[in-house]
Amino acid sequence: MKIKTFLFFMLSFLVLFFSCKPRMAKEDVIGQPKVDVKDGILTPEILWSFGRLADVSLSFDKKTILYGITYYDISKNKGNTDLYTMSIDGKDVKRITSTNASEWNATWLKDDKTIAFCYADTTGVQIYTMDADGKNRQKVSDIKDGEVEAFSFSPDGKKILVIKAVPKKDKYAYLKEGLDKTTGRINDDLAYRHWDNWVDNIPQPFIGDFNGKEITNLENLLEGTEFESPMRPWGGIEQLCWSPDGKTIAYTCKKKIGKDYAFSTNSDIYLYDIISKKTTNLTEGMMGYDQNPVFSNDGKLLAWESMERDGYEADKIRLMVMDMQSKQIKYLTKDFDQNVSNLSFTKDDNGIYFISDYHGRDNIYLLNLKNDSIKQITQGIHDYTSIIEVDENFLLGSRMSMSYPNELFLVNVTNGEQTNISNINTDLLKKLNLGKVEERWFKATDGKDLQSWIIFPPNFDSTKVYPTLLYCEGGPQSTVSQFWSYRWNFQIMAANGYIIVAPNRRGLPGFGQKWNEQISGDYGGQCMKDYLTAIDDMAKMPYVDKDRLGAVGASFGGFSVYWLAGHHNKRFKCFIAHNGMFNLDQQYLETEEMWFVNWDLGGAYWDKNPIAQRSYANSPHRFVDKWDTPLLVIHSERDYRIVASQGMAAYNAAVIRGIPARYLYFPDETHWVLKPQNGILWQRNFFDWLDKWLKEKK
């Protein structure tokens, strides 16, 4: 799982989740909370007070930015997104909505005087329009039998592409006749649930007409099928795009269902002709993920992100371009040993901007289509998460780091200068005393260079000694880049007096594809040696208390914690594992994306191939007899990626072994913790456990 993709997914999920709640009274409209910052210390309550940047859209005349900000009310356990506009230089900021339910997927209409957006009313999620100042709200859709998830207008504004959640047909409805209160589910295939939801509906694209007042004549491009477009859980409207002439739509789809869906990552780019209603597979024979198509401004080229191998979700993300006349495909980043994302053609179609991760930083690059050369546009310790071209001189991008959440930056293409123009959280950040972030390189056990991010407590004093945490990344192939998290937040860990060591161990992108691929089939191998190298080398520092070390992590990071618990040779004094894999035999049959366990573990536990046998032999549950260290286990019931029984089994094993343990369980959360009060309870448990074993005198 890629962390940047994850962040955008979380944003869209939260907006949708809170928007669909019953209407609140007008006085309950959620805005920027007032917080009391004491001694500059970041607390869980302050963390949930940050404004979160939502959808960003630039007007057609390139003069005005439309964006959303999400704020949370902890006491109400709710969040809300309102819309804002500002000029391209960051001035003239205006809040244009102040409602008791979120507006999202906001975009400009071609006249630059009208804004369209999604809104949850009493009939469900619908599409609305309003003037650019927020006045004259009008409902323009009347979607029944499913809800709107996203939309996009044709270049001339006369047609609309609507993503609608289509209810899945219940072929066993005849068995439920007269049983209106039954809660039973009947399945006869795989892929019946995914990440955090049962597959009760399917996102599919519809094309309709738009006259400025209403949407009519919606037709489903995938009528009569159960194929997804966009693909859940990460895909959004960026997986589909209009051609500049408005005559065709390129869309991403994995035309598989059930068991075939669960075992494959083979998605393709399809071209739908609006007049003839014919569909062409543009990437037939390309076996991995092909997604996120983007047309050049003249419509002659189509670019997209492509993976080569079926079943490998962390394969190199390649930049592919097709000549739409000859249908010839060129692989433009063959000699570029990095991933690409967020593709965007330059206005003159002579280049393609993209974002790429290198050594734990996500920066903006430009590929010159005349000679296929690549130039890095931005420099710095940060992550860019989106880019929009303003003109030949400037880009508009969203950027974050371990020291601040997403903000809008204006980027000078010529000299790379970057200016924060949104300043959503600048005032709050000024009140906080944040820790210093440093990059360190160590030598791994095989002699290769290993990078880590080190985050120090505020007011760090090198003459003192500090308890120190090893952070174990999830994914498993998701970079420890400059992300700002609202749960695994390094600054709040530092604010509680801990040094954090966050290594980019084997199996993470941004250090070449060979480095990234090493982890597959070797979960208990070099990646674990890298973790131990990182913490051992830091333990040599005079300011690190080697007798007060902890290890924490989620997902594959949780697996890492469980594995280290049986192999750490008394290095650590406590562990925290969130939604981690504990029993790999169990995991193979409980998870929902079978391509993942097949690739990463080498197959099923009954397979006799040496990779699979090595994987299952390194399952953490096989080393419980060597556990001797206090363990906090956190898990959520609605995590269908790594189900709750994994955490329960690990906790039970610790208790049975007589090891101090605690189990924090969320019946209503997923692979993540999304609700404000649950998030704060998570943080309080996290630090209560660490403080008990790493700060209190024994």
Q: Which residues are catalytic?
A: 555, 639, 671
Q: What is the DSSP letter of 492?
A: H
Tokens standing for 131? 């003037």
Give the integer Cα–Cα distance in Å for 665 and 277: 50
Pairwise CA distance, residues 155 & 110, whole Å: 8
Cβ(318)–Cβ(306) below 8 Å:
yes
Quick one: 466 exposed, middle or buried, by C-beta within 10 A (0-12, 13-18, 19+)?
A: buried
DSSP characters over 290-320: EEEEEE-TTSSEEEEEE-SSTT-TTS--EEE
Instruction: Give the β-pairing of 499-503 and 466-472.
Output: parallel
CA angle, 240 then 509 then 523, to 5°: 115
Sequence-ordered list of residues with C-beta below 8 angstroms from that of 358, at least 6 positions apart, any chain: 338, 510
Left (φ > 0), alpha (ψ -120 to 50) or beta: where does 36 sit? beta
Q: Residue 149 in contact with residue 125, Cβ under 8 Å? A: yes
Classify 466 as helix, strand or coil.
Answer: strand
CB 537 within 8 A of CB 450: no
Give me the DSSP letters along 473-509: --TTT----S---SSS-HHHHHHTT-EEEEE--SS-S
CA 201 to chain centre: 21
428 Cβ contact partners less than 8 Å away, ≥ 6 residues apart: 35, 37, 46, 49, 50
